[in-house]
Amino acid sequence: MKFTIVGGGLAGAALAYHLKKFDCDVTVYDRKDKGQATKASAGIICPWVSQRRNKKWYRLVSKSAAFYPSFIKTLEKDSQMDTGYKQNGAICLFKENAFEKATKRIQKKADEDINVGQVTALSKNELKDLHPFLTTTYPGLFVEGGGQVRGQKLLLALKTAFLKLGGQWLETDYPADQEHDGYTIYTTGAWGIEQNFLPKISHQRAEIMHFNIKDKSKETPVVMALGPTYIVHLEDNRYVIGTTHIDTDSFLTEPTEESYQYLKEELYKYFQEDEVEIVKMDVGLKPYTRDFLPFIGFVDQHTFVINGMGSTGLTASPFVGSEVAKLLLGKETNLDFNDYNYINSET
Ligand SMILES: Cc1cc2nc3c(=O)[nH]c(=O)nc-3n(C[C@H](O)[C@H](O)[C@H](O)COP(=O)(O)OP(=O)(O)OC[C@H]3O[C@@H](n4cnc5c(N)ncnc54)[C@H](O)[C@@H]3O)c2cc1C
């Protein structure tokens, strides 16, 4: 069976790798567009803290987080590369008046799912020990199962393992008029709008700020701060803080002054101004579909789409790639694709 994958971000690369593990004939086309979401991503794997109530989304991301440790073990062996994956917990901060309710909500998830690990309230000293650079006094929880991965490193490891297994990866636009046998799978992220499939793809522009902690370094867990703000340690004294979410039709990837100012203000809420130096801004285009749920399904007999991975595509893509590979090969799957393969009439 021949498979052609159009788009070599995380969604495409994860599927390509898993199909190749089944010894299929797989070709990936990737034109490395500026704004690729995988390249800009922060890398948090901690879906249990979100207040989002959508059950289909939660089933997908919680199964995906559970899949990560064994997937990374196999991938690091196959690629002989580091992916930056660490399951070293997550610090979650809340406003004083939201802390009790949030603790109950996350503890309930931990009671239902062993992968969440222990959920512990942090004293001020414990928070300082875990993350000595934070200046905040907000109450915090530690979620043991939280983790992180480096999007770019993970993508490179997938591509390397795929090539070692005999796959073909072409850094070029997909010639859409090309006739070939087998299945074509579109994983084109924000650029999915070019294919005109339903459901329609839209995107958000997300900007993220890279900064250094001056003259100091310590490995620290990811911080899920107030509102949509998060802080992730990358390596040495390098961190990121994110992110902005702007609905747009534009594919421009230059950082804006407005996002810079917003993230700078967020940065100084959590760190002492003279202890940090801003290094750069990155911009990624996050793909969405209807309901903010991914679309994972056939659009015709030989054409399959995985898109709309949104804000949790780094978490979900490896599991989705593994499940779609099984589906396309007629094997039993652990994911109910009916949750993600419908097309609403209004979309
Ligand atoms: C700032 C930011 C922070 C994020 N943080 C997190 C996080 O902490 N945790 C989490 O789980 N997720 C996170 N995400 C989300 C995650 O990164 C995305 O959901 C995921 O990377 C989407 O992967 P993708 O492969 O669908 O798209 P992309 O990574 O955008 O890849 C699409 C690829 O398709 C290629 N392509 C398009 N059209 C064609 C064509 N016709 N021919 C050839 N190639 C084509 C493009 O060039 C591109 O390389 C974040 C995203 C951003 C932007």
Average pLDDT over residues 257-268: 98
- Residue 174 pLDDT exceeds 70: yes
Residue 54, both tokens? 């959508």
Residue of 324, 325, 346 lying closest to 337 (CA atoms): 324
Candidate from 17-31, 105-119, 164-178, 304-318 with smallest mean pLDDT: 164-178
Q: How deeply is 257 buried, as exposed, middle or buried, from its count of CB atoms within 10 A (0-12, 13-18, 19+)? A: exposed
* Three-state SS letters, the chain: CEEEEECCCHHHHHHHHHHHHCCCEEEEECCCCCCCHHHHCCCEECHHHCCCCCHHHHHHHHHHHHHHHHHHHHHHHHHCCCCCCECCCEEEECCHHHHHHHHHHHHHHHHHCHHHCCEEEECHHHHHHHCCCCCCCCCEEEECCCEECCHHHHHHHHHHHHHHCCCEEECCCCCCCCCCCCEEEECCHHHHHHHCCCCCCEEEEEEEEEEEECCCCCCCCEEECCCCCEEEEEECCEEEEECCCEEECCCCCCCCHHHHHHHHHHHHHHCCHHHEEEEEEEEEEEEECHHHCCEEEEEECCEEEEECCHHHHHHHHHHHHHHHHHHHCCCCCCCCHHHCCCCCCCC
151 CA distance to ligand 1 centroid (A)?
Answer: 9
328, 343 contact by CB (below 8 A): no
Is the distance from the beta carbon of residue 290 to the nearest atom of ligand 1 less than 6 Å?
no
6 CA distance to ligand 1 centroid (A)?
Answer: 13
Which is higher by pLDDT, 290 or 57?
A: 57
Task: Return the ligand 1 atom nearest residue 315 CA.
Answer: 11
Q: How confident is the model at residue 345 (pLDDT cuts 50, 70, 90)?
A: low
Candidate from 73-87, 166-180, 190-204, 288-302 with smallest mean pLDDT: 166-180
Q: How confident is the model at residue 216 (pLDDT cuts 50, 70, 90)?
A: confident
Average pLDDT over residues 302-312: 97
The pLDDT tens digits for 238-251 are: 999 999 999 999 99
Mutate to test the pocket of ligand 1, among 92, 188, 207, 303 (most ligand atoms within 8 A of CB): 188
Q: Where are the domains of the chain?
A: 2-339
Is the distance from the beta carbon of residue 309 to the nearest atom of ligand 1 less than 6 Å?
yes
Q: How confident is the model at residue 95 (pLDDT cuts 50, 70, 90)?
A: very high
Q: Domain 2-339 is classified in which CATH homologous superfamily?
A: FAD/NAD(P)-binding domain (3.50.50.60)
Q: How confident is the model at residue 17 (pLDDT cuts 50, 70, 90)?
A: very high
- Residues making up the chain, counted from first to last: 347
Q: How confident is the model at residue 15 (pLDDT cuts 50, 70, 90)?
A: very high
Mutate to test the pocket of ligand 1, among 33, 57, 85, 253 (most ligand atoms within 8 A of CB): 33
Average pLDDT over residues 223-246: 96
